[in-house]
């Protein structure tokens, strides 16, 4: 590889790790809080599901990040490098605060900011940006609605169950863990896969021709490296976010966790199938809050929910600004 693609791959590796601090911590939180798995056990189940996701769902989300936000094939690896750097700084800020945020929002904002500074408003596909943002909002609403509905169905099914109900629900979380991992591998992890695929394509004439023709060749090593980064990120930094969601938000019971996992997993997989990049973090958090509120409206600690909402609200403008600043530096 040439020096710029190598630098971009290094930046994407950092992005994959840092985004997994956020995403991995969020996904393991409900499993650990409900005492279904240890942190390591939950991570293994999620990794197995995530390994299947890209092969089963395809690379539609990776192509969305490569083509639908800014004209990356035309703007080149320098703009992509600035965007990845902006997204990493945004995610590190949220991780330092111990708050889950949206990795997709961070990357979309940084891509738009870098493209805007480098080539002006025409470089940004504003319709694509609004379509992605609309999809994220829809996934947030659907995840919350599904979390509430599934919790009601679970409680109705267990109305006459005995004391063994919680143990049975914890056992079912092996399946819901695979579902959430599948959704992550087919959606959120494809951000990293797509960025690695772009770096590889820019390093060869055939790859550059494919990009200009609207195709994104995805090498197998990009998938496996992304999976490795997901696991490493969960191990290195996931516990910080998991503590916020699993233990500070509200006392998570087995029924809450199972309901949220089913709701979030189905929502994210459905979005991945049609190429909409949604935030696994936001969707899982919304589903978990809704499941807790379905039990009792005062159950979630709403002060923490408001703090998380503020973190989400500043993610896009912060990433937009940082992506733009780094595009000036990269130039």
Q: Using one digit for the tens of pLDDT, what is the confidence trace for 35-90?
A: 778 878 888 889 999 999 888 877 788 888 888 889 888 888 889 999 999 999 99
More confident residue, 27 or 8: 8
Q: Report the distance separating Cα 216 and Cα 66, nearest Å.
A: 8
Contact 230, 50 (CB under 8 A): yes
pLDDT one-digit tens code per residue, 139-187: 888 888 888 888 888 877 776 665 566 667 777 888 888 888 888 888 8
Q: Is the pLDDT of residue 296 over 90?
A: no
Which of 186, 148, 161, 165 lies closest to 262, judged by CA? 148
Which of 312, 59, 327, 314 lies closest to 192, judged by CA? 59
Tokens of residue 229, six digits = 């980064």
Contact 91, 221 (CB under 8 A): no
Q: Please state the rounded mean pLDDT for residues 15-39.
A: 81
Q: Is the pLDDT of residue 268 over 80?
A: yes
Q: Report the distance separating Cα 121 and Cα 279, nearest Å.
A: 25
Contact 327, 110 (CB under 8 A): no
Query: What is this structure's pTM?
Result: 0.85
Of the pLDDT bands very low, low, confident and very high (cuts 50, 70, 90), residue 271 is confident
Classify 70 as helix, strand or coil: strand
Q: Report the distance separating Cα 8 and Cα 66, nearest Å.
A: 14
Contact 15, 195 (CB under 8 A): yes
Q: Report the distance separating Cα 117 and Cα 121, nearest Å.
A: 8
């Amino acid at each position: 590889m040439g020096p710029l693609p190598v630098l971009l791959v290094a930046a994407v590796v950092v992005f994959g790790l840092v985004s997994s601090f956020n995403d991995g911590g969020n996904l393991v939180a409900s499993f650990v809080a409900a005492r279904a798995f240890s942190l390591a056990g939950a991570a293994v189940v999620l990794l197995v599901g995530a390994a299947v996701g890209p092969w089963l769902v395809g690379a539609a989300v990776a192509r969305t990040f490569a083509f639908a936000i800014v004209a990356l094939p035309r703007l080149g690896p320098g703009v992509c490098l600035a965007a990845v750097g902006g997204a990493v700084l945004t995610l590190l800020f949220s991780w330092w605060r111990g708050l889950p945020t949206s990795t997709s929002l961070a990357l979309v904002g940084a891509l738009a900011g870098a493209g805007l500074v480098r080539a002006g408003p025409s470089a940004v596909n504003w319709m694509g940006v609004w379509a992605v943002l609309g999809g994220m909002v829809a996934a947030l609403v659907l995840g919350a609605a599904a979390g509430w509905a599934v919790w009601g169905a679970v409680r109705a099914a267990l109305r006459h169950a005995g004391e063994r109900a919680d143990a049975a629900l914890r056992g079912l979380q092996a399946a819901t863990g695979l579902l959430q991992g599948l959704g992550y591998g087919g959606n959120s992890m494809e951000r990293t896969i797509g960025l690695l695929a772009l770096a590889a394509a820019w390093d060869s004439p055939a790859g550059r021709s494919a990009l200009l023709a609207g195709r994104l060749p995805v090498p197998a090593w990009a998938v496996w490296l992304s999976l490795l980064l997901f696991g490493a990120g969960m191990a290195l930094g996931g516990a910080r976010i998991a503590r916020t969601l699993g233990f500070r938000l509200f006392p998570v019971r087995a029924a809450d966790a199972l309901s949220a996992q089913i709701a979030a997993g189905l929502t994210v997989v459905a979005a991945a199938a049609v190429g909409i990049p949604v935030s696994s973090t936001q969707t899982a958090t919304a589903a978990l809050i809704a499941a807790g509120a379905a039990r009792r409206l005062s159950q979630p600690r709403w002060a923490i929910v408001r703090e998380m909402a503020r973190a989400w609200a500043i993610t896009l403008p912060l990433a937009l600004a940082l992506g733009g600043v780094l595009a000036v530096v990269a130039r």
